[in-house]
Structures are given as structure tokens and as C-alpha cells.
Amino acid sequence: MRLTGRTAIITGAARGLGRACAVRFAAEGADLVLVDVAADLDEVPYPLGTAEQLAGTAARCREHGATVLTVEGDVRDEAAATAVARAALDRFGRIDVLVNNAGIAAPAGKAIHEITEREWAVMIDVDLSGAWRMIKAVVPAMLDRRDGSIVNIASTAGLVGYRNFAGYVAAKHGIIGLTRAAALDYAPLKVRINALCPGSVRDDPAVEGRMLSEIARCLDVPVAQHEATFVQAQPMNALVEPADVAAAALWLAGDDARQVTGTVQVVDGGFTAR
Amino acid sequence: MDARHFFTHPEYGTRPERATHGLVVPLPAGGLAGGSPVQVWSQTLPVPRRHHEAARQRRRELRRPVPAPGVRAVLLRYADGRADLVLSAHRAALGPADLDRLARELTGAATPGTPPAPGAPPGPWTAPVAPAPAFGLGDGTRAGRYARAELGSVPCPRPEPAQLVAATALVLARYGEPAAFAVVGPDAVTVAVPEVADDDTLDALTRRAEAGLHAGPDADRLPALGILLPATDPAVRCEPAAPPFPVTVAWRWQPDGRLTGHCLFDEAYLAPAVAAAFAPQLLRAAAALAGRPLSTLVSDVELMTPEETARVLGAGRTPAGTGRRRGTVHAAFAALARERPDAPAFTDGATTLTYGELSGRAELLAAAMRDRGAGPGTRVGVCLDRGAELMTVLLGVLMTGAAYVPMDVRAPADRLAFTVRDARPALVVTDVDGFPEVDGVPLTSPDKLRADGPAARPVASAGGPDDPAYIIYTSGSTGRPKGVLVPHRNVMALLDATAGDLGLGPGDVWTLFHSAAFDFSVWEMWGCLLTGGRLVGVPYWVSRSPEEFHELVSRERVTVLSQTPSAFAQLRDADAEAPRGLSVRLVVFGGEPLDASALRAFHDRHPRTRLVNMFGITETTVHVTTRTVTPADMASRSRSVGTALPGWSVSVRDGRGRPLPFGAEGEIWVGGAGVAAGYLNRDELTSARFRPDGHAGGTIYRSGDRGRLRPDGQLEHLGRLDNQVQLRGHRVEPDEVRAVLREQPGVTEAAVVVTGAAEEARLDAYVVLDGGSATAVRRAAARMLPEYMLPSTVTAVPALPLTINGKLDVAALPAPTGGEPPAPAADPPPADGITGALLDIWGSVFGRAVTVDDDFFELGGNSLLAVRLFAAQSRAGLPRVSLRELYLRPTITRLADAMANAPAGTGA
């Protein structure tokens, strides 16, 4: 039980990696504040998480004995980010962990000169600035206690480029820069910030994941073909499981990583080793 | 200062949950009254109220911190339809009474009032917390982990707050650590600093505690320990959400008339084994204060139960080994000599005697000594330098059944005369010219014994294991030297305790480095010769010259070294410059406290050499405890001297001889197989120091050393009881100052001595520098040490002088110079050639101008410095001189004369 008595905030928690992290943290004794926009966005060409899915994540966490607070909120909204931090403190009195997981994979699938101003803006606003807003809202409580761990979910797209995904790649590269800068800002006050870069993650029905399929759709290739491509591209010859990413996030969140900050942890089956 | 202020900025430490307290209120069937003044969080649990998951959830809710505005209400609903209201609040916002009132409002038991005013928002939690008490034996790596120890429960009248304060002070004093602690009452927080004296009555202590309660808190830092007094209204169950202090004692007085409570402790502050005894002792002290006649003395309060006493005595005792080594020292030697007569026994220069030869020679001397009156029940004085002759005579003395009384050939005549007068030996064997004649005690020499001896009919070996084997004189800190009678049985037990663990055997080569008058030599001689090893006599001059001693250790392939830490530090330096490797597999340290950090360099160079620290006392047969020094010890500057040798026992006791609990600081008492038979002719002193042990049986020796015992039986040695000095009202431990000085850059060795008495007392420090200046050391130390611990002077010396026994020779230290270099001498006369070169070298080595007629020793020179001079001389291409030469010709003029007659590059 590595997170007993701790409070973790996880954004994008309705499904996917957010749900995988939430359930794993609950199993390790954490109490949780689960955040999701629980609504679709105009610019995003696929359905986002729903309130029902968010409640579903909360129910799975409660099965492990966690006390869970759910908040519907958009990381593009500074007031919403502040409200999340406020709710966490009112209910639990402390914030130990923040997992900046909320993110969108599309609009994508086009070369740079074809991306519209609005498409570019929404991508950066959610995937990069959203993490910044959440850090800003949460970090004062961590600094007061001289303790805290922030895990920014980036991507291998934060390390290498992908064709026709410039906005996503730029945002994820930005997350890694944000991580390094924040780590230096707060290391003297014992608050740690690390980035986590998953490779291609399997769409696990247990967490209602759909990232892989949405990326395939953007690239206009059959899901099975896209999957096969990445199984080959990742030297372990397998897709990454959501549980693999959750395990890495758990390590970064907990005391085992107490000297780890400003790092980029890669969970990609060896993809970036080539 | 009121509670509100105390629990907020800045005194509270970095854990806001410490500032939180809470209530659990079972709800009436009607649930919550409407119109709550605070937000109520609701949670449904899928278990009934009595389920352990429900209890766990209530605890979790109580432990959560509450930031400003300072109150949280959680409604827990259970599967059986019941519900609890958990109310928690920041103490700055709501005191216990307010919290209770809010609970009544929310549950409809009282009319709703105005919502509680939010307290000041908690500030940055940055205030330092007092360091962990030494007695707690906390583990720094477990900082932040809290555990709980129960106080127990006793029927007791309702205690007054002052009684609980007095009880806490009494227990802390018994642990040797009187310190300020916080007292948290329903409405106020105070800090108590009561003084406790053993001859106080409980009444006086309680009255002082009452007065002390009003003392203002020390706002600089949060005390390490705080007590929470029982609530005045038993209906309000108000608990801290998290322990407010690293060690928090929460008292409860139950309406059924029982006093109880628990102690929550950070494991960096208290080890669980210490807390398990400490907590119930608080309750016992409180019960004593509430129930005893108030004229009872503080020292009469019994804190330890028989079980606790048995536990600490058991931890300090190591079961005896095989017990196979019995009989007498000389009989054991004779058996080895019969078994392996041709094995090498003693090397003296170029000559090596076999076991057979040594035995035969000793028998001849024994016969001659017996003719002169030596025999069981008598004593023979022996004053010889450390060579084959000494070894033969000592063995011969034992063969007669007498005990040997070793004397140092370099001891002053008065001291030798005193020893002879006190020991009344049948004869004295010596080759020292001018050995004092005393009251007709016959003097003889080994040569005379051989010449006048009977027609060499070896005598049958005499004496039994309970007869004394030797009497060694120790100079106590006060008064005249006293002879310690050590029976054969003890020496055999020492071998039994160590031979197996240290793997002592015929393959070993030992040095006889120490004077026979220092009991470390008992270990060297008999540790070697009773396990079949070869003993190499170290001539005095060589023992004083680290370079030459290193050469001898290397040449003779010595495997077992016994060294004082001071002497070893010089050997280590010589080793660092020596190209040749060593065959040493074991170094046994004794005679002085060991600073394990000083061993790191040697360990890096010789990682396979086992380094064993032994704490020992002449009165308990050389050694008491043993600990193999680990790299972790070197890193942590551990003060542990290890566990008792098999057959020995150690305990830490108070002034009345009662064993103290684990962690408490007190006097080290030693029992078991090593306890000597007493002091010769000093019955009163013997009965004062050697006592029948009412707790463990047998005889036990009060060492006069301070220590503490750890639950695993490891003894920490904390110096002499009388080493601690009072400087301007502060208790100062010179060893502590020394340790800090040694950590300063450029300092390779340091010594701190106390000069003057009472109000005149002050500390003078001596440092050996490897760059830097004494002034810089003093400046650096001023950053580490409180003003009262700062030495008045810091004097740079080329090396620390050692006594004959290898301990720091305080008398040989120069007068303190306050760190300023001595004024340079007037213009030295011009000199050239050898003299000029020597002037330069001496000047640079001593760090000041010298003249051709300055005496090497009066300048503060010693063996280590001589080694440096020689090195500089050979670099300058000057002829080599021996250490002996320097001792004989201690001025530049006389040395230059000798050099002028010797060809460059060869020995003089």
C-alpha cells in the first residue's frame, strides 16, 4: 500500500490511462479526486469521456476502499482548475499527487500548413496549457507541506516526431519542457515533477480506451493495421498495456521515487531505443 | 501565548495535520439537524457501523488535515442504516469546546449559533522541530513513520495537570535527558522545563512543575515531546488527528477512575523498543505521583518492572563460549609447547625462540625465582623492556605460581618505588640501572637468575585458576595508582571468548607493541601464545616511529595488530605513504574510544582487513565488548562499541545500581567472566567498585564510564562519567568538540583538553593541520559549535603527543597559543651547508623560525614529526639519520655534526 493516506488528483479520469491510474492508486490506498471534462468539444472529432464513465471509474476505485470525489471540469478553464484544488483541500485537507493525464489526440492527420488556427489552439490549450493550469492550481498546497509529486502524461510524441501530428507532437514536447522547468522551480521545496511517455497503448476495454483507434482513424488506416505496425515498431513486439503506464505513474507518485524529479520516464516497449 | 498562536505559524512544523483535532459523534436516528453552518460531505459505506472498514474510515477522516477556514464535517452512512458525524477542525479555528458545541448544533442537541469564525490561515510550515532525544535511539531513515505505544491503565484518582507534567519530567530525567516539553491543555499550550533532582520529594517536584507550567514557550522550535492533558469534560472525546509532536503522549482519565493513554511517536525520534518501555513508565510515574505519600523521594520511584529489568539484563549478556579453556595460563602454554615444541613463539630482532625453547628458558628462571621466594600467593615485580627476556620472565613467574607485577622501564622512579612498596613483591626482576631500592625488596636481573640459579631442575608448575596471574597498576582519575588483581581464570575466559570469533591460531603473527604495564599487552602476549601464534617484540623506539613500525609489520608478515586508535592513526599515515602491502588480517582497537570515521582511508586500502573495536577496562580483563567495524559505522560515526564478549555482561545503571531501560544514559556496569578479583590492599575501594550484583548475581564492576544500551545488546560508549565538564553552566563533552574539529577541512587530528576548574574552566584545542591555519579552524568551528562549546584557543601542533601506552599525552601538549603563530625569532645567524639546510627544514616543519640550538623536543617534536623531518632531509639529499640519533642529538648543531661525518644517502 504505497499511497495510504494520500490524496491524488487525476485529470482525464473517465476512461483510458486516467482510469487505469485511478484504479491502481486506489488499490494502493489513495483517496482520489477524479476530474474529467465529461463533454464533447467541437474541434475534437471523436467523443470524449462522459459523466457516466467518470462515475464508473469512481465506482471501481471505491471497490478498493478509496474515498472518491468526482469533479466535471475543463482544464482549459483556470477557474475550473482552481475549483478542483479547492475541492480536494476541503474534502481531504491535502494534495499529494497530481496526474496530468487529460489530453486529446486529435484534431490531427494533416500536414502543418493545413492545420487551422482553432485546431492548433485547442490542441495546445488542452494538452500543454491544461497541465500548466493544473500545476498552478495545485502546487501551493504541495509547497506548504514541502511534499508532492506531479506526473505529467506526455507521449513518445514528446520525444520524437510523428507525421501529420504536429500539434500533438508540439504539445507533448512542450509537456517535457514544462516538466523540466517546473522540477527546477520546486525541487528546493521537495515537490517533484516528472514526465511519463507511453508508447502505443492497447485500447483496453476494461478502461474503455480508444486512443489507438482514434489515431488510426486520423491516419485513415484500419485499426488492425495500425496496431500491427506499432507491434512491429516497438521492439518488445507488443503494445503497451494501460496497467504498465499506471505502474510507472505509481512509482513516480510514491516515496520510492523520492529523489526522482525532472525526469522523462519512457514506457514504450523499446520504441525510442532504436 | 495561547493555543491558537502555538498551533499556527510558525511553530508547528511542516505537518498541518498535526494542527488538527476531531470528534466522532454517533448520530441520533433523526440524522442531522437542518441548516448546517458548514458544508457537510456525505459518504456511504457498504458495511455496517461495527465493521472494521467503517472504523478504518473514521480514523482516516480524523487524520486528514484541515486547512483554513478550519473545519470539516463528514457524514458517514453505513449499510445498517446507522451514521456518524466526523468533525475535524484546525486548532487555530476551533478549540475542543467549540468543536463540541458545533457537534451539538449539527446534531440538533443545541440551538444553532453563528458559524465559527475562520481562524487565520495556516502560515508556511517551516519552523524547526527539536532534534530527536539521544535516548530514543530513533532511526533517521524512518522519519515520518508514526507508531503507537500504549501507556497501560491503572486505577488512579484524577491527576492534576502538574502531576502529569512532573511525571513526564521525572521519566525524562531518569533517561538522562531532561528537556523542555510541551503541555497541551484544553485551552492553552505551555512549555514545561522542570528540573528534577534525585533527592527531591514528589511534593517538591509537583510544586515546581506547577510553577514551571507558566513559563513561556520557547518559540524557536517545536519541542520533540508534548503531552496532551485529559479533557476536562469526559463527554467530549477530542483526539488529535495526527500527533502534534514527534513524540506525543495523550493522557486520558476515564470516568471509571482509571488513568490511561497512549504515545504516538515518529520512529526517527523513538525506536519502537524504547517507546514500549518509555510509555508505561510515564504511567507508572504518574500513578506514583498521584498515589504515593508526597514525601517519597524522586529516586525511590521504581519505573522498571522485573520483566523490563530482565529484558535489559538479558540483552547485555552474551552466553559464555565453549568453556574449554580452563586451568592456568602457564599450563595452557606448556601444553602447546609439548604439542608443537618447534613452532616459532617469540621473535626478538633477528632471533626467534620456539615454544619449546621459550618454555625451557622460563622453567629455568622459574626454578631460580622459586629459590628466591616466588610461589603461590606471592608476587614478582618485572621491569623489563618488551623483548624475549620479558616474555621468558613473565612466563617463569607464572610457573612459580606467583603473580607478575609489570612495571614500565620508562616510568619515573617514584612511580616504580610506589608500585614496589604497594605490591610487596618477593623479588623484582629488572635490568634497569638505578631501579629504586625499596624496603629491602631484593632486585635481580634475568642474567643473575640464570647465573645463580639452581642446577637447573625445572620445577613443577604451580598455582590454580583462581590465583592472580598478574597485577596491573592503573592510575585512576583521582588518587594514587591501584593494583588490579586478575586471576588466571579470567585470562582463559578472554581467550575462550575471542579465539573462535577472531579465528586466532598458529598461522597468526602478532606484535607485542605495548608495555607490559599496560594491560593491552596481556591480550597481545597471551592472545598470541595461547593460540599457537608467533609474537614479535616491538622495540620501544620502533613503537614510537610509525615508519619503522610499519616496516616491521610488513617484514614480519604480521597478521594481528592491537592498537590504540591514536597510535593507529600514525600507522595509517605511514601506511598511506608505504609502497609495500601488509599481511594484517585483523586489527583490534582498544584503550581509547574509537572514531570509526578515521578508519575509512585504511579500509579503502585494505578492504579485507577486519577491524574490531573492543571497549575494555583493566578491571574486567582487557576487553569487555566487541564490534567488527563496518563501512556503515565509518559513515555514521557510530559510538557503538558492540556487544558483550561471550561470558561477559554489560548493563547501564543509575546511581543506585538499578538497571536503566534501553536508551537511557547511565553508568556502564560490567559483570561475568572478566571481572577482576579486586584491588590489591584497597578493600574499601574494592567493595565500592566490585559489588555483589543483586540483579544478575555474581560480582559486578562499576566502570565509571557513561553509556547506553541498545535493544540489540549493542553498547554505546559515551565517555567517562567525569569527563563531562560544566562550562559556564552548560554541560560540555570535550569528545564532542573534538569530533567537530576533526571534520573541519585541513584537520587530520584533534584533541580537546579542559583546563582550569569551576568558573575558570575552559577548553583548549590542539589540531594537526594538513593545510589551512588554526585561525581558520577556529572560525570554521565557530560555525558549528555553540559559543559555550567553542575552545578558547586552537593551537596547531605537528602531531599529537602520545603516552607510553599510546594514549593522548595531555601533559606533553604545548601551552596554547590561541592559533596565532609564535613571533619569529630575531634574525638567525647566517648558516650554510648542512646547518643551513636543516634550519630551513626544521623551520618549515615546525612552522616557525628555529635556531641551531633549539631542542627538537622542546620545540614540540615527537616521533611523527621526526618522520617528516627525515623525509624532508632525504629530499634535500642530506645524510640519513635514525630516530635514535635524533633523540640523542636533539639540536641542529649536534645533528649537523653527526651528519657531517656520515656519507650522504646512507644511514648515520
Please report which confidence band the pLDDT of residue B294 belongs to, taking 50, 70 and 90 as the band edges: confident
* Phi/psi at A74 (5° precision): -105, 125
- Measure CB to CB from residue A94 to each of B41, B53, B64 and give the nearest one: B64
Please indicate whether residue A62 or residue B12 has the higher confidence score (pLDDT). A62
Query: Is the per-residue pLDDT at A253 higher than 70?
Result: yes
Q: Tell me, yes or no, whether A273 lies in a domain.
A: no
CB within 8 Å: A5 and B60: yes
pTM over 0.90: no
- What average pLDDT is seen over chain B? 82
- The alpha carbon of residue B39 is apart from the nearest alpha carbon of chain A, in Å, by 9
Q: Which residues of B touch A8 (CB under 8 A)?
A: none
Tell me if residue A46 is catalytic: no
- Measure CB to CB from residue B41 to each of A89, A91, A141 and give the nearest one: A91
Q: How many CB pairs under 8 A join A and B?
A: 40
* Burial state string for B351-384 with b = 16 or more CB within 10 A and e = fewer than 16: ebbbbbbbbbbbbbbbbbbbebebbeebbbbbbb
SS3 of residue B242 by DSSP: coil
Name the residue type at position B250: A
CB within 8 Å: B17 and A94: yes
- Measure CB to CB from residue B53 to each of A65, A91, A93 and give the nearest one: A65
Q: Which residues of A touch B14 (CB under 8 A)?
A: 145-147
Please report which confidence band the pLDDT of residue B186 belongs to, taking 50, 70 and 90 as the band edges: low
Is the separation of the CB atoms in B522 and B622 below 8 Å?
yes
> Which chain A residue shows the shortest CA-CA distance from B40?
A91
Query: Is the per-residue pLDDT at B194 higher than 90?
Result: no
Terminal-to-terminal C-alpha distance of chain B: 79
CB within 8 Å: A93 and B72: yes
- Domain ranges for chain B, please list them: 71-107+147-213, 237-303, 733-812, 834-901
Q: B733-812: what fold?
A: GMP Synthetase; Chain A, domain 3 (3.30.300)
Please report which confidence band the pLDDT of residue B690 belongs to, taking 50, 70 and 90 as the band edges: very high
pLDDT of residue A33: 98
User: Cell triple for residue B399?
Assistant: 610457573
pLDDT of residue B488: 97
B57 Cβ under 8 Å from any chain A Cβ: yes
B59 Cβ under 8 Å from any chain A Cβ: no
Is the separation of the CB atoms in B708 and B665 below 8 Å?
yes
Please report which confidence band the pLDDT of residue B475 belongs to, taking 50, 70 and 90 as the band edges: low
Q: Tell me, yes or no, whether A212 lies in a domain.
A: yes
- Measure CB to CB from residue B64 to each of A92, A141, A146 and give the nearest one: A92
ipTM value greater than 0.90: no
pLDDT of residue B175: 92
B370 Cβ under 8 Å from any chain A Cβ: no
Residue reference for cell 547501564: B652
- The alpha carbon of residue A77 is apart from the nearest alpha carbon of chain B, in Å, by 24
Q: B834-901: what fold?
A: 1.10.1200
Q: Which residues of B touch A145 (CB under 8 A)?
A: 14-16, 125
Please report which confidence band the pLDDT of residue B238 belongs to, taking 50, 70 and 90 as the band edges: low
> CA B189 to CA B494: how far, in whole Å?
56
On the 0-12 / 13-18 / 19+ scale of CB atoms within 10 A, B38 is middle
The β-bridge relationship of strands B625-628 and B610-615 is antiparallel
> Which chain B residue shows the shortest CA-CA distance from A7?
B64
- The alpha carbon of residue B237 is apart from the nearest alpha carbon of chain A, in Å, by 21
Could you tell me the CA-to-CA distances from A265 to A3, A153, A178 in Å, in that order?
20, 10, 14
User: Cell triple for residue B648?
Assistant: 561477559
Query: Is the per-residue pLDDT at B754 higher than 90?
Result: no
Please report which confidence band the pLDDT of residue B728 belongs to, taking 50, 70 and 90 as the band edges: low
- Measure CB to CB from residue A144 to each of B56, B63, B125 and give the nearest one: B125
> Which chain A residue shows the shortest CA-CA distance from B15?
A145
User: Cell triple for residue A110?
Assistant: 494533416
- The alpha carbon of residue B779 is apart from the nearest alpha carbon of chain A, in Å, by 28
Is the separation of the CB atoms in B570 and B866 below 8 Å?
no
> CA B264 to CA B179: how far, in whole Å?
18
Query: Is the per-residue pLDDT at B217 higher than 50?
Result: no
Beta carbons within 8 Å of A139's beta carbon, 6+ residues apart: A148, A150, A186, A191
Query: Is the per-residue pLDDT at B460 higher than 90?
Result: no
Closest alpha carbon to B672 in B484, B494, B467? B494
Most distant CA pair in chain A, distance: 50
CB within 8 Å: A67 and B65: no
Give me the mean pLDDT over the B560-577 stretch: 89
pLDDT of residue B337: 96
**CATH number, domain containing residue A70:** 3.40.50.720
> CA B592 to CA A120: how far, in whole Å?
75
Catalytic residue (one of A46, A162, A168, A186) = A168
Give me the mean pLDDT over the A61-76 stretch: 95
pLDDT of residue B29: 60
User: What are the DSSP calls for B578-592, one per residue?
Assistant: --S-----EEEE-SS
> Which chain B residue shows the shortest CA-CA distance from A94?
B65
Could you tell me the CA-to-CA distances from A34 to A29, A96, A255 in Å, in that order?
15, 14, 22
Query: Is the per-residue pLDDT at B215 higher than 60?
Result: no
Residue reference for cell 561470558: B647
CB within 8 Å: B122 and A144: yes
pLDDT of residue B573: 87
pLDDT of residue B459: 60
Q: Tell me, yes or no, whether A2 lies in a domain.
A: no
Domains B733-812 and B834-901 share a fold: no
* Phi/psi at B594 (5° precision): -100, 130
Tell me which residues of chain A have a C-beta less than 8 Å from any C-beta of chain B.
5, 31, 65, 67, 89-94, 141, 144-147
pLDDT of residue B8: 31
- In sign, the C-alpha dihedral spanning A19, A22, A24, A26 is negative
> CA B648 to CA B641: how far, in whole Å?
14
Parent domain of A169: 7-267
Is the separation of the CB atoms in B325 and B492 below 8 Å?
yes
CB within 8 Å: B125 and A145: yes
Helix (H) or strand (E) holding B400: helix B388-400
Q: Best mutation site among B8, B47, B60, B90 for testing chain A: the one with the most A CBs within 10 Å?
A: B60
B72 Cβ under 8 Å from any chain A Cβ: yes
Q: Tell me, yes or no, whether A274 lies in a domain.
A: no
Q: Which residues of A touch B124 (CB under 8 A)?
A: 144
CB within 8 Å: A93 and B64: yes
> Which chain A residue shows the shortest CA-CA distance from B17?
A93
Q: Best mutation site among B9, B38, B39, B41 for testing chain A: the one with the most A CBs within 10 Å?
A: B41
Please report which confidence band the pLDDT of residue B373 belongs to, taking 50, 70 and 90 as the band edges: very high
> CA B23 to CA B761: how far, in whole Å?
56
User: What are the DSSP calls for B420-483, one per residue?
Assistant: HHHH--SEEEE--TTPPP-TT--EE-HHHHHHH--S--PPPP---TTSEEEEEEE--SSSS-EE
Closest alpha carbon to B701 in B762, B784, B771, B644? B644
- The alpha carbon of residue B65 is apart from the nearest alpha carbon of chain A, in Å, by 5
**How many domains does chain A contain in total?**
1
CB within 8 Å: B17 and A91: no
B327 Cβ under 8 Å from any chain A Cβ: no
- The alpha carbon of residue A7 is apart from the nearest alpha carbon of chain B, in Å, by 10
Gyration radius from chain A CA atoms: 17
Please report which confidence band the pLDDT of residue B479 belongs to, taking 50, 70 and 90 as the band edges: very low
CB within 8 Å: B14 and A146: yes
CB within 8 Å: A144 and B53: no
Q: Which residues of B touch A5 (CB under 8 A)?
A: 60, 63
- Measure CB to CB from residue A93 to each of B39, B43, B67 and give the nearest one: B67
Q: Tell me, yes or no, whether A1 lies in a domain.
A: no
Query: Is the per-residue pLDDT at B147 higher than 70?
Result: yes
Q: Which residues of B touch A67 (CB under 8 A)?
A: 43, 57, 60
> Which chain B residue shows the shortest CA-CA distance from A147?
B14
CB within 8 Å: A94 and B72: no
Give me the mean pLDDT over the B177-190 stretch: 73
pLDDT of residue B731: 54
- The alpha carbon of residue A112 is apart from the nearest alpha carbon of chain B, in Å, by 47
Give me the mean pLDDT over the B426-436 stretch: 93
- Measure CB to CB from residue B16 to each of A31, A91, A144 and give the nearest one: A144
Q: Which residues of B touch A141 (CB under 8 A)?
A: 67
B729 Cβ under 8 Å from any chain A Cβ: no
Map B25-42 to HEC letters.
EECCCCCCCCCCCCCEEE
The count of C-alpha atoms lying within 13 angstroms of the C-alpha of B670, restricted to the half-sphere facing its C-beta, is 30
Q: Tell me, yes or no, whether A119 lies in a domain.
A: yes
Is the separation of the CB atoms in B442 and B368 below 8 Å?
no
> CA B86 to CA B601: how far, in whole Å?
59
